[in-house]
Amino acid sequence: MPRQIVFFMTDTTRKDMLGCYGDPRMQTPNLDRLAGQGIRYERAYDCQPVCGPARSALFTGTFPHSNGVVTNNAPLGDNVKTLGQRLHDQGIQAAYTGKWHLDGGDYFGLGVCPDGWDPDYWYDMHVYLEELTEAQRKRSRKSETAYDPDWTEDMTYAHRVSDKAISYVGEHADQDFFLAVSYDEPHGPCICPSPFNTMYEGFRFEDNPAFHDSLEDKPLLQRLWAGDDLAKDPEQLRSDSQMLSLFLGCNSYVDYEIGRVLAHVDAVAPDAMVIFTSDHGDMLGFHRLQAKNAAFYEQITNVPLLIRPAKGHEHNQGVVVHHPASHIDLVPTVLDFFGLPIPKLMEGRSMLSQIEDPSRRINEAVFCEFTRYEVDHDGFGGLQMMRSVTDGRYKLTINLMDTDEFYDLAQDPYEIINRINDSACQQARNHLHDLLLEHMDATRDLYRGYQWAARPWRVDKQPTWQNSGLTRQRENEEYENRQWDYDTGLPMESAVRGKKLYDVKR
């Protein structure tokens, strides 16, 4: 029996935009059915709530601070290998159709297939636009086009991505493969045909405390980001708008397109593992914020994650996992599924044992980060050095140049009350802080330093020149020679070791 994975992802799908996560108004029948056939994760998190950095973790198994994509429109480092490269070099076919956003180009990409992925099926947005006339390209970037009768389903990016995926599955049904199907939808301009373009007219979110958040005791950045919305009546923030209606309609449309591919997978490759997730969510007025940026609220970091196990694990149907999960774990999981060794530089861990036994907990806590939104833009808050950690109950965020945040997600699921200075939370807060500092060291976070440790509320941490006092060299030994020790000029015996300070005597 061939080993096969079909990996679906969308852009800007919030967890609560899938009906299976509890809102029956969301019309996503295909993804809801997928959830019923497998495992639904309630506490899955992205690694940065921005397109490119989020994708960098998804397809390299390393955090943005490790692979170089710390912002949109920054390329992967030259020595960073993608999942496609790793699979291809181990004899597993890999194909990618859809949005990439990891080549350092503009929003649409460079149109060039990266090493390891099948070039016959490469279909980033640059390739799509090249298929259109100049007039059609301009129309493809305007939301109003969704209401044009002549802009039919076959003109949309989602439809053409699906066609590529269907073709690939059909031609490789009897072979081992990993196929990534990456939609730009429902991301703006939210172009979708009838009936999806009017499906959510009049939609309003239910009222909840997040629409009433004054953002007091929160970072200044959030109030600047909120802008005029800070003074709006909460009714306005949650009320219906044409843009919200079109966005949700496009979300249902991409569910329809996923359904087209799933139907073909079920017909010709029914034993395949199927994974679905999104790169990040959208604030949509919650906490008086729009889109996504330098924050770690649940609306943009707590992403949907559905996994339908491969044949032989049908007993895990309709299972819900509440343990924390992370995008960083998906590459190790894929490698493990194909029976391949997990490289030392992977910064996550395989979820395969949890997929086999959903009662297992893989992570004590998971991590998220933010450095910058986009290289090309001078706005969006600019540089914001942030790191976050959650164990599923508590969430700690270090805003290096601003006010830190600590939330009790059990008592305060809407993240309204910032308890960073609450002595009653000291033990839980400091434990997460210690885990975060250990994570920054272990992953060689190039932005680490004493400022992350010596926070105003952490009186037992003092600034120190030496920090942890260790040297940590990279181990990428599947593709590079073992690095050499500065002190000996010989291959290092240990990648992590104590620093040596020199007292040069003349």
Using alpha carbons, select from 315, 316, 308, 320 the residue that is nearest to residue 269: 308
Please state, in angstroms and rounded to a whole number, the distance separating the CA atoms of residues 71 and 20: 31
Residue 366: strand pairing partners: 390
| 470 Rama sector, left if φ>0, alpha if ψ -120 to 50, beta otherwise | beta
Cβ of 121: how many Cβ atoms within 10 Å? 21
What's the length of the chain? 506
Provide the token pair at 328. Answer: 């960083």
Using alpha carbons, select from 330, 120, 155, 141 the residue that is nearest to residue 257: 155
Q: Which amino acid is at 423?
A: S
Angle of helix 51-60 relative to helix 330-337, nearest 10 degrees, comes to 30
Q: What is the DSSP letter of 228?
A: G
Strands 39-45 and 325-326: parallel
Q: Please report, for the chain, how many H helices and E strands are present, in that order.
A: 15, 14
How many Cα atoms occupy the beta-carbon half-sphere of 149 within 13 Å? 0
Identify the H or E element spanning 355: helix 352-356
Residue 248 in contact with residue 199, Cβ under 8 Å?
yes
What residues are labeled active site? 51, 101
Please state, in angstroms and rounded to a whole number, the distance separating the CA atoms of residues 19 and 204: 15
Angle of helix 242-268 relative to helix 157-171, nearest 10 degrees, comes to 10
Residue 22, burial from CB neighbour count under 10 angstroms (0-12, 13-18, 19+): exposed
Could you tell me the end-to-end alpha-carbon distance of the chain, in angstroms, rounded to an integer?
Answer: 70
Is the bond preceding 189 in cis, omega lying within 30 degrees of 0? yes
User: Which single residue is written with the structure tokens 């994760």?
Assistant: 41
